[in-house]
Amino acid sequence: MHILVTGGAGYIGSHIVKLLLENSNHKITILDNLVTGFQATIDTLTVIAKENNVTLNFMEEDLSDFSKIENIMHENQFDAIIHFAASLVVPESVENPLKYYLNNTANTANLIKCATENGVKKFIFSSTAATYGEPDATVVNLETGLKESDPTDPINPYGMSKLMSERVLKDTAFAYDDFKYAALRYFNVAGSDPDGRIGQSTKNATLLIKVAAETAIGKREKMYIFGDDYPTHDGTGIRDYIHVVDLAQAHIEALEYLEDHDSDVFNVGYSRGFSVKEVIDTMKKVSGIDFTVEIKERRAGDPAILISDNTKIKNTMHWQPRYDDLEVICKTTLEWEKKI
Ligand SMILES: NC(=O)c1ccc[n+]([C@@H]2O[C@H](COP(=O)([O-])OP(=O)(O)OC[C@H]3O[C@@H](n4cnc5c(N)ncnc54)[C@H](O)[C@@H]3O)[C@@H](O)[C@H]2O)c1
Ligand SMILES: O=c1ccn([C@@H]2O[C@H](COP(=O)(O)OP(=O)(O)O[C@H]3O[C@H](CO)[C@@H](O)[C@H](O)[C@H]3O)[C@@H](O)[C@H]2O)c(=O)[nH]1
């Protein structure tokens, strides 16, 4: 296959590209405007492609350039698209919603249009647990995890921009027999490639595990726990942290799944959660550093508990997580942080 990977210079996209280069003979084209992705990541992936004798192309382009995208799609015979490119800072999406609806929803709709016009049969989409919003504990079971069939009600434009893209995919797949998609709702993605060749280099990171790693190695003086008065066992927020390599593998399974199954939406998480305090204690343990942590007020829009029910992806695809271990997640994050 010839696979187009948008956003392949970014954190998650680069991990999928690495897996594909190492484990398949697919030709890969990365399209990325490098707004939050890195040329250094492309350089590393180019070396990995050479080592594995696989073709990797890189196009520095912006998905909002519709005529360019149309030409690229017309000139290349892509068999599948894995679409990561997006804006993903939740508070920014509240301040600047149009950036999110344009980059995440409009650009995705155009990409889907080009896909249908050029015979692309499979589309794997990066969706998010943010599509569920702030789940209502009287309606869903927060302890056993959210099911794909549970209500979706995003509480910020980021989540809504992704849910709208899911809808565009659903309607398109209904209208075009040859077009199939899998929308993967990622829970909290963390960790890095265990080989240490790629990782999360995102600037001004806000994600808990990356912030904790930065604090452990002294890039930050201290870190904060946003709220210790949630209705959880230790008062801090609970999330379902998934290692990026297991998430990457889910995309590969999804490509195979679409060979002989219909389009669908899947949670990708481990169906278990850790509190903020448990994450920080684990980072302290794996780093051996007792860094400074202070309690702050709750961050706006943070739900108390977000855990996936992953029964569907486990039962229908052959997805077997290998890194469901908070220590491994923290350790690989820390090792990468030491390198950059
Ligand atoms: N990181 C998480 O915890 C998380 C959780 C749920 C969902 N997601 C989704 O996963 C995907 C990848 O996220 P990530 O963490 O790797 O982020 P990232 O910022 O590292 O990667 C996004 C990539 O897309 C590129 N990009 C953005 N807009 C573009 C455009 N208009 N044209 C071309 N390239 C563009 C960026 O340069 C970057 O390389 C996103 O769709 C995100 O919404 C991430
Ligand atoms: O310095 C920090 C950072 C985070 N937190 C807490 O840690 C938990 C996790 O926060 P974070 O790592 O920022 O992730 P989320 O806010 O859960 O959101 C992430 O995970 C979602 C999927 O669940 C994605 O959709 C979002 O894009 C991504 O930002 C929350 O309880 C936060 O309040 C802290 O206490 N201190």
Distance CA 138, CA 130 (A): 19
Neighbouring C-beta atoms of residue 87, cutoff 10 Å: 19
Q: What is the structure's pLDDT at 138?
A: 85
Instruction: List the pLDDT tens digit at each of the 340 positions of the chain.
Output: 999 999 999 999 999 999 999 999 999 999 999 999 999 999 999 999 999 999 999 999 999 999 999 999 999 999 999 999 999 998 899 999 999 999 999 999 999 999 999 999 999 999 999 999 988 888 888 888 999 999 999 999 999 999 999 999 999 999 999 999 999 999 999 999 999 999 999 888 899 999 999 999 999 999 999 999 999 999 999 999 999 999 999 999 999 999 999 999 999 999 999 999 999 999 999 999 999 999 999 988 788 999 999 999 999 998 999 999 999 999 999 999 999 8
The active-site residue, picked from 100, 158, 181, 257, is 158
100 is catalytic: no
Distance CA 275, CA 175 (A): 43
Distance CA 292, CA 125 (A): 38
**What pTM did the predictor assign?**
0.97
Distance CA 13, CA 7 (A): 6
Q: What is the structure's pLDDT at 144?
A: 85
> Ligand 2: which residue has its CA nearest to atom 12?
207
> Ligand 1: which residue has its CA nearest to atom 23?
7
Q: Which atom of ligand 1 is nearest to the CA of 14?
A: 16
List the chain domain ranges. Answer: 2-191+240-269
Phi and psi (nearest 5°) for 190?
-155, 175
Ligand 2 pocket, residues with Cβ under 6 angstroms? 88, 90, 128-130, 187-188, 206-208, 211, 223-226, 237, 239, 276, 299, 302, 306
Ligand nearest to C-alpha 145: 2
Distance CA 216, CA 210 (A): 10
Give 246 Cα–ligand 2 centroid separation in angstroms. 19
Distance CA 179, CA 168 (A): 12
Q: What is the structure's pLDDT at 315?
A: 95
Strand ranges (E), 154-240: 180-186, 188-190, 222-226, 238-239
The CATH class of the 2-191+240-269 domain is alpha beta
Q: What is the structure's pLDDT at 93?
A: 93
Nearest to 104 by CA among 117, 88, 115: 88
